[in-house]
Chain A
Amino acid sequence: MDKKRINIGESGIDQVFRDGLDHFEVEPSDSFWSRSESFITNQENARIRKRLVKWQVIAGATFVLAVATTSFILYTGMLSEPAPKQDMAINYPAEPKVLSMPEAGLTPEVQLPTVDTDQKQMGGLVSKIILNHPQPKMADLQEHLNLPNKVSVNKNRSKEEIVENESINESEVLAEAIQPYSRVYSEKQEETAEVQPLIGVDNDSATTSESIVNEMPFEIVQEEVAEKPLDGDQQVRVTSRWYVSGKFSPLLSGVLRSDNKQNVDFSEDDLGDDGEDNIGYQAGAQVGYEITDKWSLQTGLFFKTSTLSLLPKTLYAQPGLGGEPVYSLVTSLGTVHIAADASTPIGDSLIVLSNSNQKLGFIVIPFELKYVMLSKRLEIYSFAGATVNYLIKSATQVHLDDEEFEDGSRSESFKTIEGVRKMHIGYNFGLGVSIKVSKHLGVLTEPSYSGSFSSINKNSPFQSRLHAWGLALGAIYHF
């Protein structure tokens, strides 16, 4: 600034101030730097928490998917049909154990057929022994097949898969052994046509397949047919149309705000952004009725919490109804009045730190329509409907920063949020996957989205609608 500039005219005043303040800086106070440091640290902590929450959600979803997939595989494996004959043959040892006649406990007069190369994979030798032995001894079988003393036989399993079990009897072992042949034998008998060699014989053997079959001294054990559900409409209903389910869902909630057009003095922009780490939950039970095989109606009772974290904000003391100084914290959910000391000057400010948050608790009653897209052991469905949300509790936890406080800050909790409606109408939709673990019981998982038709605020210059993403886990029981 020089003398010429100071000797200003009417409009030259602008230039005086421009030049005078050009390149001028003001050093912030120490308290500003400490608050800045607090803000940066909080930001960093929030980022870490957010990253953790994200990974927790991913880990949870992966776990649910893994459990669901494993359950599905195990369940379908248990109920699948017996493997075809040729598949079963593969389960048998590729090189059957060739026993000598004494080893097999055979008498010399009984012709022991040898094994044809092509039939080795049928485990033929074992069966041949049985077929040709008029009274096979269990002890022989156990010894030569290296079976444990107590075994159970599953006709779908190979010798190696036979496991120890108390429910053993000889007939099961024998049935297992002759099963590949008995089935073919039955088929061939029905055909009564030219009998193809069932079991290969070498040129030196006097025993043909036909003769072996005809000499079979054992009762042919009929193959058990596993229960196989029919597809779609052919499926035979074994349960009632009524069902109940219990669910728990973590929620990632938030608020969608818009200006209330009737109030032009205040913009929702004035509120600033809400925080992002808003984790809540919903838990409860549902009951449903299947109108058709595809469509169901369901309702229920849930408890739901919606959390909203508050970003740092400066509050100014304002005159309350009685003229006393109060700090009014205006949030997306409503207004919280924080009492100030009577001596606090109007206009004095304090900061709400970033670990402040608000929580709303609702009783939620949904009315939903469910549509089943795939109805097998694994059921895939969608659902949508309206919800009635009753507010049963609200709380605001604030962390106030003021140099006048003894420790520089204090935490307070408030149960009243002015302007929140007691009830609002919302909606809900999502997809679901359930897997039957028994005839009546299934486990389910449901990613869903819920929102509000109506604002949760009343008499407010802005409208706020709650929304949330959820991933429910639960169980469903068909009566």
Chain B
Amino acid sequence: METLQEEIKGSLAGNAMAQRMLYRRLAGKMLLVCMRYMKNKTEAEDVLQEGFMLVFQKLDQYNGSGSFEGWIRKIMVNKSLEHLRKSVYLYPMKDLSGINDYAISTEDVFGNIASKDLLRMIQELPPAYRTIFNLYVFEGLKHKEIAEMLGISEGTSKSNLSDARKLLKKRIQPVTKQSLVVNG
């Protein structure tokens, strides 16, 4: 298998090798998407697994007009939201004050570790903040769309986004200072 198109075509035909290649190609990127929504990697992998199952079941519905990666990404986001909806009562939204100060590594702040830390910051947000921040910043949705999707008011969406930003800024400030020292 050489190209994405060939892998899609092979997967549609039920070729197990093509499905494996598609997994390999997209698992890393999609796991990041899921991890932004879920609180840990284990949960994110569960969602990713179910997302891929759905991808293979619905693959014939991909019309090829848009980005395949974008199409899968939407599926992963929807799966993540589905899991969040189910587990909200299991994981009551944490109080803002209950979150511990976030200790971030000063090593290689411009490389992958920094990216991992950024990811962890997002994961540490309360579910509602995390969800709205992700939908707004990474999926590019408007507050109206977010409100409709989550069944909340636009005001709540804006308010939660603002709180999420404040929280993230508060956590990232120490890193900024540390990195300035390191690079200064």
Residues on A facing B (Cβ under 8 Å): 1-3, 6-8, 10-11, 13-14, 16-18, 20-21, 24-29, 31-32, 35-37, 39-41, 43-44, 47, 270, 272-273, 311-314, 316, 318, 346-347, 349, 351
Contact = CB atoms under 8 A, between A and B. Distances in A.
A16 B49 contact: no
Contact of B49 (A14, A47, A351): A351
Interface in B82-111: 82-83, 85-87, 90-91, 109-110
Contact of A21 (B54, B90, B118): B118
A15 to B, nearest CB: 9
Contact of A24 (B42, B54, B56, B119): B119
B27 interface: yes
B57 interface: yes
A10 B169 contact: yes
B50 A28 contact: no
B175 A6 contact: yes
B49 A35 contact: yes
A18 B136 CA distance: 11
Given A28-B48, A316-B90, 9 more contacts: A6-B109, A8-B172, A17-B122, A32-B49, A36-B27, A40-B19, A273-B57, A311-B57, A346-B90
A20 B114 contact: yes
A11 B50 contact: no
Interface residues of B, number: 54
Given A43-B19, A47-B14, A13 B168 contact: yes
Interface of B: 14, 16, 19-20, 23, 27-29, 31-32, 35-36, 41-43, 45-50, 52-54, 56-57, 82-83, 85-87, 90-91, 109-110, 112, 114-116, 118-119, 122, 136-138, 165, 168-169, 172, 175-176, 179-180, 183
Nearest to B169: A13
B52 A2 contact: no
Contact of A312 (B23, B41, B45, B49): B49
B45 A32 contact: yes
A318 B83 CA distance: 13
Given A1-B110, A17-B118, A318-B90, A39 B28 contact: no
A28 B43 CA distance: 12
A318 B89 CA distance: 10
A28 B114 CA distance: 19
B53 A29 contact: no
23 contacts: A1-B110, A6-B180, A10-B165, A13-B172, A14-B137, A21-B118, A21-B138, A25-B31, A26-B31, A26-B119, A28-B28, A28-B48, A35-B49, A36-B49, A37-B20, A43-B56, A270-B82, A270-B86, A311-B53, A311-B57, A314-B46, A314-B50, A314-B83
